[in-house]
Chains A and B, each alone.
Chain A
Amino acid sequence: MRNQILHIFKNDVRHFWREIVLMIAVVVAYGWHTSTRSQGPGFIAIDIGFSFPSEILSLLVPVSFIFLIVRAAHAECPVGDRQFWVTRPYDWRQLLAAKLLFVATFVNLPLLVLQVFLLWHGGFWPPRYLWGLLALQLSWSLFVFLPVGMLAVVTASIGQFVLAVLAVLLYFIAFSTLISEIPGIGVAGSDVIPERTTLILVYAAIVAIILRQYARRRTAWSRIVLVGAGVAVPVLFAVTPYRTLIAHVYPVPGPDKPLPVHLAFDPAKPASLKGGYFEKNKVHIKLPLLVSGVAEGSKVTEGGILVRIEAPGGPRWESGWSGGYGELLAHRPRDSETVTLEKDFFERVKSVPVNVHLTYALTPARAQQVVHIVAGPAPFTLPGDGQCLFSPLARNQPVCFFPPAKTERMLLSAKTEEITCKPGENAKPLPAGTVAYGWVWEVGSFGLNPVSAVELALSDFGDLDVRNSRESVCPGTPLTIYTAWQEGPRYRADLEIDGIHLADYKLDDSPDYELGFGVRVP
């Protein structure tokens, strides 16, 4: 038979018509429910607040896709020795192609139609966002459908598949726990090599398993490869020389080079040492810093930090590199570094003057696009085709809707004296002269709904106490938006702090938070 693809495809359609109808019903229900949660003409308010049907449906849609993929793969199951098709003249390439056609028709296509509809309903013209839609399809295919297909071809039943999924989830939990213990992991830029190698390894294993299962039905081999890849990945992370990579990615700048930020220790004792939390056998200290030199429209990202503490007479402690997430911005002269220490070490050195050496891995960046806008009250736009309006569902804060794969990280800023929000009950008006910041992170790279909704808010008021000021952006508030960041050369910066008493900087354990399994003893 020359063309088995369509023949097998049609047979699968006949076989799984109930599952297909069920999947379409779930997709339609999700599309209808999402689109009817309208809060204004041309806009949909998803991802704002909790909606039980919405949560259930957004879970059921991928589950129905996964179910369909598994059922189609198991119809001609490559696992086992009793399958009828094994001794029939199937061409394995055509069989695989038929299964891919089935998934493309009844998984990718419905997903695409759903996303086109939601995009259109959200006020975005779908053909303009074709690449974004294709990127979403690719993400779903690579991160969900392909791994699901791989697990389906090494399992013989839905029960086995569910067990395999549970095993994979447990593996990820164990994997995350294991790699979080590796010093140096999480420092931006240093894990590119293990991450890319892992991706290549995992996808090579997935593709090899699928091809081998259809071509030769070697399930034992496939399962060994799967487990082998699972073991190789954490080993790869464990043997990566992060310290060397960090030194390479973040070189020490030349002495004549102007630095985009200058960090210094703030000799003034901290006004408050609240905000700590209980962690068994750990102590948190907060070191106040002075920041200067960050230009307007620039940011310096703390990619990682290494802390070394030396006490007279020998006691010495080093944190190892850990990932950092702070952003150093203009108009923020003060910052702090919270360091988590072993309690034993702290008790030994807390009352003696110690030298603290901080090494930062820093990445400067400058916004290539600066936009000045005034928020509402009428709908307004943001870079990246963001459509914003004030929403009662979001506590009268502006909500912005973005089409897929168009959003870059945006830094919002506003002068406090220009913020038009009325002070909350028992709150003082914001003092003039401070710049407030807020972030809009990259959105829309993955998800069922191609329209991402983001609350526009200013969250960083520096040293100001704004606990009772609920709103931060109100109609009439002028905002400056910085985006299209261009990174400068990464570098390492050292900061020496000599002769401080750690006890002066110890954060109080707050009863509000507890971490880990430690028991707080009064």
Chain B
Amino acid sequence: MSSAIRAENLVKGFRKVTALNGVNLDVPEGAIYALVGPNGAGKTTAIKVLMNIFPATSGRAEVLGADSTRLRGAAFTSIGYVSENQELPGWMSLRRLLAFLRPFYPTWDVALERELIRQLDLPLDRKLSKLSRGMRMKAAMLSSLTYHPKLIVLDEPFGGLDPLVRDQLIEGLVERAPEATIFVSSHDLAEIENLASHIGYLEEGYLRFSEERAALLERFREVELTLDALPLLDRRWPESWMHVAASEHVLRFIESRFESERTRGEIREFFGEVRDVTFRPMTLRAIFVAMARAGRPAPGGSGV
């Protein structure tokens, strides 16, 4: 499968701050890729470098097969970009904005435009500067979907929006998913947990992991062992074991490279036969919390 976005060793520095530290990224065509991470992790910077809004300090990126530094003009007929901090022309009404944008896009779909206006319940004649934040995001989304872009890039699109608006936006987005690659960033995993097919976790400018959501959920487990004797904690555990902790005869850890047989084998190697072993699947949120607490790349994680 070819890539909609590919980044190699992308670095972006702002004077003394390095916002991106050698990010390698590969977003397959047709994916819904969620780039998550805490505030200040470098998500917006990464997107702006990919969109050629900022030049990278070093490294390179390709977007829809073209060098990202050459991304301008006609290339944006295939890309829809929506950002929470994008400044729309506030003096325009939505009707004027759409009329202005329509001739720029050869693939502009008037029927889809009408449908989205209805679906997102947007007022056409109010100035954009007079719209609420949620309304403006919907307007931006509408103006970025109606020309069937091959790539939709959304930078924190749902932050601070009420659940109804968020659901409307997600609904509009999901409907576009079959025909586009969607790259969405968020600091709040819950917003996009059910939307994403692929997930990348960015922290302090480092991409800790980047992989398919299903694979990620598959390889993380909360492991609980019940032992006959009190466990010794001062040992060198396998790299894939995170947050090893014990309480009386019970030892708990997070396995980040879970394969039933191999993990059981490693447990036997350390503890011999144990009284009881439980492997519990984890939610994405629990995985990210564990990752954030560990502050290191996920062992066993692989670039997609």
**A residues touching B (Cβ–Cβ < 8 Å)?**
1, 4, 7, 11, 14-15, 75, 81-84, 86-92, 218
The answer to whether B86 touches A88, judged by C-beta atoms less than 8 angstroms apart, is no
The answer to whether B100 touches A4, judged by C-beta atoms less than 8 angstroms apart, is no
Inter-chain pairs besides A1-B103, A89-B76, 9 sampled, C-beta below 8 Å: A4-B104, A15-B89, A82-B86, A82-B87, A83-B86, A84-B87, A86-B51, A87-B86, A89-B77
The answer to whether A92 touches B88, judged by C-beta atoms less than 8 angstroms apart, is no
The answer to whether A89 touches B86, judged by C-beta atoms less than 8 angstroms apart, is no
B81 within 8 A of A: yes
The answer to whether A7 touches B103, judged by C-beta atoms less than 8 angstroms apart, is yes
A308 to B131: give the CA distance in the assembly, Å.
77
The answer to whether A87 touches B53, judged by C-beta atoms less than 8 angstroms apart, is yes
The answer to whether A87 touches B81, judged by C-beta atoms less than 8 angstroms apart, is yes
Whole-angstrom distance between the Cβ of A16 and the nearest chain B Cβ: 9
B55 within 8 A of A: yes
The residue from B53, B74, B85 contacting A86, defined by CB atoms under 8 A apart: B53
Q: Is the interface of B mostly helix, strand, loop or mixed?
A: mixed
The answer to whether B74 touches A81, judged by C-beta atoms less than 8 angstroms apart, is no
A75 to B85: give the CA distance in the assembly, Å.
17
A380 to B55: give the CA distance in the assembly, Å.
67
Closest 8 CB pairs of A and B: A87-B81, A89-B76, A82-B87, A89-B77, A1-B103, A81-B53, A91-B73, A89-B104
A84 to B48: give the CA distance in the assembly, Å.
13
The residue from A4, A11, A84, A87 contacting B51, defined by CB atoms under 8 A apart: A87
The answer to whether A89 touches B88, judged by C-beta atoms less than 8 angstroms apart, is no
A14 to B43: give the CA distance in the assembly, Å.
37
The answer to whether B73 touches A15, judged by C-beta atoms less than 8 angstroms apart, is no
The answer to whether A90 touches B100, judged by C-beta atoms less than 8 angstroms apart, is no
Whole-angstrom distance between the Cβ of A91 and the nearest chain B Cβ: 5
B161 within 8 A of A: no
Given contacts A89-B75, A89-B76, A92-B73, contact A83 B87 (CB under 8 A): yes
Chain B, residue nearest A7 (CB)? B103
With a CB–CB cut-off of 8 A, which chain B residues contact A4? 104
Given contacts A15-B91, A81-B48, contact A88 B104 (CB under 8 A): yes
With a CB–CB cut-off of 8 A, which chain A residues contact B55? 218
A280 to B302: give the CA distance in the assembly, Å.
79
Chain B, residue nearest A77 (CB)? B87
With a CB–CB cut-off of 8 A, which chain B residues contact A7? 100, 103-104
Whole-angstrom distance between the Cβ of A214 and the nearest chain B Cβ: 10
With a CB–CB cut-off of 8 A, which chain B residues contact A92? 72-73
Whole-angstrom distance between the Cβ of A79 and the nearest chain B Cβ: 12
Chain A, residue nearest B78 (CB)? A89
With a CB–CB cut-off of 8 A, which chain B residues contact A11? 100
A75 to B89: give the CA distance in the assembly, Å.
8
With a CB–CB cut-off of 8 A, which chain A residues contact B83? 82
Chain B, residue nearest A15 (CB)? B91
Whole-angstrom distance between the Cβ of A465 and the nearest chain B Cβ: 68
Q: List 19 A-B pairs, Cβ < 8 Å.
A: A1-B106, A7-B104, A15-B91, A82-B83, A82-B85, A82-B86, A83-B87, A84-B89, A86-B53, A87-B53, A87-B76, A87-B81, A87-B86, A88-B104, A89-B76, A89-B77, A90-B73, A91-B74, A92-B72
A91 to B77: give the CA distance in the assembly, Å.
11
The answer to whether A84 touches B77, judged by C-beta atoms less than 8 angstroms apart, is no
A4 to B105: give the CA distance in the assembly, Å.
11
Most central of A75, A84, A87, A91 by chain B CB within 10 Å: A87
With a CB–CB cut-off of 8 A, which chain B residues contact A75? 89
A91 to B76: give the CA distance in the assembly, Å.
10
With a CB–CB cut-off of 8 A, which chain B residues contact A84? 86-89
The answer to whether B53 touches A88, judged by C-beta atoms less than 8 angstroms apart, is no
A81 to B54: give the CA distance in the assembly, Å.
7
The answer to whether A88 touches B101, judged by C-beta atoms less than 8 angstroms apart, is yes
Most central of B55, B96, B104 by chain A CB within 10 Å: B104
The answer to whether B73 touches A89, judged by C-beta atoms less than 8 angstroms apart, is yes
A14 to B87: give the CA distance in the assembly, Å.
19
A88 to B97: give the CA distance in the assembly, Å.
12
A277 to B89: give the CA distance in the assembly, Å.
61
With a CB–CB cut-off of 8 A, which chain B residues contact A82? 83, 85-87
With a CB–CB cut-off of 8 A, which chain A residues contact B91? 15
B137 within 8 A of A: no
B79 within 8 A of A: yes
With a CB–CB cut-off of 8 A, which chain A residues contact B79? 87
The residue from B48, B54, B74 contacting A89, defined by CB atoms under 8 A apart: B74
A81 to B74: give the CA distance in the assembly, Å.
19
C-beta contact mask, B96-113 vs A, less than 8 Å → 1, else 0? 100011011110000000
Whole-angstrom distance between the Cβ of A520 and the nearest chain B Cβ: 52
Most central of A7, A75, A88 by chain B CB within 10 Å: A88
A355 to B88: give the CA distance in the assembly, Å.
76
A354 to B83: give the CA distance in the assembly, Å.
80
With a CB–CB cut-off of 8 A, which chain A residues contact B101? 88
